[in-house]
Amino acid sequence: MEALTHTEPTEPAIPAVEPAPDPAPERHGRLRNRRPNRSTLLTQAIATNALAVFGLIFFAVLVLNVNAGAGQRRTELILLMLAIALVLTLNIVILRRQFAPLEKLVSTMDEIDLSQPGSRAEMPRAATEDIAELVDAFNKMIERLEDERMGKVQATVEAQESERARVARDLHDEANQALTAVILRLQAAAEDAPPEIAGQINDAKQLASQAMEELLQVVRRLRPTTLDLGLRNAVSSQVAEFGERTGIDTEFNFDGDSRKRLTDDRELAVYRVVQEALSNVVQHADATRVEVALTIADTIVLTVQDNGKGFNPSLPTGRFGVTGMRERAMLVDGLLEIESSPGAGTTLRMEMP
């Protein structure tokens, strides 16, 4: 007997219905492509009033006394034109005075830089209520943006330092121990090896020892344990190590009380700014000499000066290092300034209260 197979009836295929295109992208595209009106609000107001006045002129000309003599009509026209010119002049002066606070506010908006907090729009003299509300709303918005940016920068810096500490521990605990084991094994192998092979083993041992020393330097840069000995010693050893590693002539000067300890975040900010500044010297400056000066008194002042090729600080450089240094200074209520010009070297100055 043949086996009977039961086949489930297949449903007819339903043609796929494509979703209707979202009109939002097209609408946003139209908004982006729409050209803004280039005329200012002041220009529009003056033009509107001018049209009204010229309409008044046209109407006045129509209702002039046509029966009057030519001299009388000429006098009436001259007086009318003078009156209209006076009205237009007063109108322009009044409108310009009323719109001046808006123009100043726009100028302030263009100059605001969140990386240098503290800039605010000034309240104009005799400002009207709506202008005062606009300026106050703008200042509150800038304050909120600065607070949000400060919080994000602080979280980012803390995450960076935490990750650096984790990587440093992993390198020290794992890679360093592995290299130490390799060196011990090579040393044991060299003692039992024939003389012609022992030399090669010793060379390999020296290379492993050099790799371990470079690894420890990386660990120290990731986690500056030298800060435990004081900021002066940490920066001094950092500058000296930089000179030995790069061959650039370096000098470190200190002024103040070396026993005075700063808060951990301030000491770390100074250390990281020096680290980034020296890194920029190697990558971009082509300098042969670097001077680092640190003053710890009523205010903390750090200066890093090189004799490199310099650059124009007003032009965008595309370097995130400068932004990072400014943010670190900002987190400790400090101010970082850079003075440079092509061919004249660069001077970085950070000041903290």
Angle (CA) 343-347-353 rounded to 5° is 165
Taking the C-alpha atoms of residue 351 and residue 334, their distance in angstroms, rounded to an integer, is: 5
Taking the C-alpha atoms of residue 119 and residue 109, their distance in angstroms, rounded to an integer, is: 10
C-alpha dihedral sign at 127, 133, 134, 139: positive
- CB atoms under 10 Å from CB of 49, counted, come to 15
10-residue mean pLDDT profile of the chain (353 residues): values are 39 43 48 47 67 68 57 71 76 75 78 72 72 82 81 75 76 78 84 82 86 79 75 89 91 86 85 90 89 91 92 69 83 88 90 88
**What sections of the chain are H helices per DSSP?**
23-33, 41-62, 70-111, 129-170, 176-192, 195-222, 231-246, 264-280, 320-331
pLDDT at 69: 57
For 296, the 3-state DSSP assignment is: strand
Angle (CA) 64-70-72 rounded to 5° is 60
Whole-model pTM: value is 0.58
* Residue 3 structure tokens: 């086996």
User: In this structure, are residues 303 and 292 in contact, taking their beta carbons and an 8 Å threshold?
Assistant: yes
Taking the C-alpha atoms of residue 150 and residue 51, their distance in angstroms, rounded to an integer, is: 51
Judging by beta carbons within 10 Å of its beta carbon (0-12, 13-18, 19+), is residue 235 exposed, middle or buried?
Answer: buried
User: In this structure, are residues 326 and 115 in contact, taking their beta carbons and an 8 Å threshold?
Assistant: yes
pLDDT at 13: 41
Taking the C-alpha atoms of residue 246 and residue 282, their distance in angstroms, rounded to an integer, is: 8
Taking the C-alpha atoms of residue 93 and residue 23, their distance in angstroms, rounded to an integer, is: 46
Closest to 342 measured CA to CA, from 317, 308, 304, 291: 308
pLDDT at 34: 45
- What is the β-pairing status of strands 335-340 and 346-352? antiparallel
pLDDT at 87: 74
pLDDT at 127: 65
